[in-house]
Amino acid sequence: MIPYVQFILLGCLLTVCNCSHAQTVYAGESTVDKGKISGLYLTLQGDGKQIEKDWETQLQKYGRVSASRGTYRVPTASIPSISSEPINLVSTVKSSRTSATIFAAFDLGSGNYVTTGGTGYSGAEELLKNFSGSTLYQQEVRGAQGSFDEAQKNRQKLVRNGERLQRAIEQNAKEKERLLKRMEDNDKELVQLQKDTETNKTEQEKALLELESRKSNVEAVKAKSSN
C-alpha cells in the first residue's frame, strides 16, 4: 500500500515540476581569476548548497572537474550539443540557504566564449535549462520524500503507542481478573471464618460445661475426703 502511495505522490510532483521548471537563462559576464569572461547565468530557488552539489555532479558528466571555493573547471569538457571539440568550461556558483546562482562560461578555444546568438549558444542554454528542470524535480522529490518519511515515522510512532496501550489494557484486564479472583477467595475465606467462629463458640460453651462438671466432681471428691 505504501509504495502505491509513493507512486501517486511522485506522479503528482512530476506534474507540478513540469509547470515550475521554466527558469530564465540569460547571457552575461563574470570576473573569474581577475579576468572578465562571457557566459550564461541561471538562478534557482531552493536549497543552494544542494543545488551546487547537483551542479558539480552534472559537470562530472562532461569530464574531470577541479573545484575551489565555488569555482569549477572542466578543462576538456565533452559537450557535443555545444561543440564537437573539447571545451574549456569554467563555472562559478553563489549559493545561499534559499537559492543558487550559476554562471557557466564555455570557451570554444583561444578565449572564444559562447555568447548570445553565437556558435553553441542554444546548446549551452538548453544544457542549463535541462539542469534546472532536473535539479528542481529532484529537490521537490526529496522534499516530498522527506515529508512522507516524517509522516511514516509519525504513524509508526502512533502504531507503537497504540500497541503499548493495547498491552496495557490486556495487562489491566488480567490484573482485574486477579483482583476479582482474590475478592472471590476473600469472600469464601470470610464465610469460612464466620463458620469457624460459630463452631468455636459452640465448642467454648461445651468446654465451659465440661469445666463446670469437672469442678463439681473435684468439689464432691474433696467433700468425701473431709468426712
Structural domain spans, the chain: 2-147
> pLDDT: is 17 or 142 the higher one?
142
User: What is the average per-residue pLDDT within 96-121?
Assistant: 95
CA distances, 138 to each of 48, 143, 217 (Å): 13, 8, 114
H or E element, residue 104 = strand 99-107
Return the CATH number of 2-147, one of 3.30.1490, 3.90.120, 3.30.310, 1.10.3470: 3.30.310
Q: Which pLDDT score, from 0 to 100, does residue 227 have?
A: 66
- Categorize the per-residue pLDDT at 143 as very low, low, confident or very high, splitting at 50, 70 and 90: confident
User: What is the average per-residue pLDDT within 115-136?
Assistant: 95
Residue 77 grid coordinates:
569538457
Q: Which pLDDT score, from 0 to 100, does residue 16 have?
A: 42
Q: Which pLDDT score, from 0 to 100, does residue 15 have?
A: 44
- Under 8 Å CB-to-CB from 215, ≥6 apart: which residues? none
Q: Which pLDDT score, from 0 to 100, does residue 223 have?
A: 83
Residue keyed to cell 469460612? 192
Q: Which pLDDT score, from 0 to 100, does residue 38 have?
A: 97
Amino acid at 113: Y
H or E element, residue 77 = strand 71-77
Task: In whole angstroms, give the CA distance from residue 152 to residue 169.
Answer: 25
Q: Which of 26, 28, 49 is nearest to 37 (CA)?
A: 28
Q: What is the pLDDT of residues 4-54, one digit of tens each?
A: 444 444 444 444 444 344 468 999 999 998 899 999 999 999 999 999 999
Q: What is the pLDDT of residues 59-90, one digit of tens each?
A: 999 999 999 988 999 999 999 999 999 999 99
H or E element, residue 10 = helix 2-20
Contact 39, 32 (CB under 8 A): no
Contact 91, 110 (CB under 8 A): no
Q: Which pLDDT score, from 0 to 100, does residue 151 have?
A: 93
Mean pLDDT of the residues in the chain: 89
Q: Which pLDDT score, from 0 to 100, does residue 1 have?
A: 45
Residue keyed to cell 565555488? 70
User: What is the average per-residue pLDDT within 218-222?
Assistant: 84
pLDDT greater than 90 at residue 199: yes
Q: Which pLDDT score, from 0 to 100, does residue 162 have?
A: 94
> pLDDT: is 60 or 217 the higher one?
60
The SS3 call for residue 23 is coil
Would the CA dihedral through 50, 126, 101, 73 be positive or negative? positive
Task: In whole angstroms, give the CA distance from residue 58 to residue 44.
Answer: 15
Bridge partners (DSSP) listed for residue 30: 37
Q: Which pLDDT score, from 0 to 100, does residue 119 have?
A: 93
Task: In whole angstroms, give the CA distance from residue 24 to residue 102.
Answer: 12
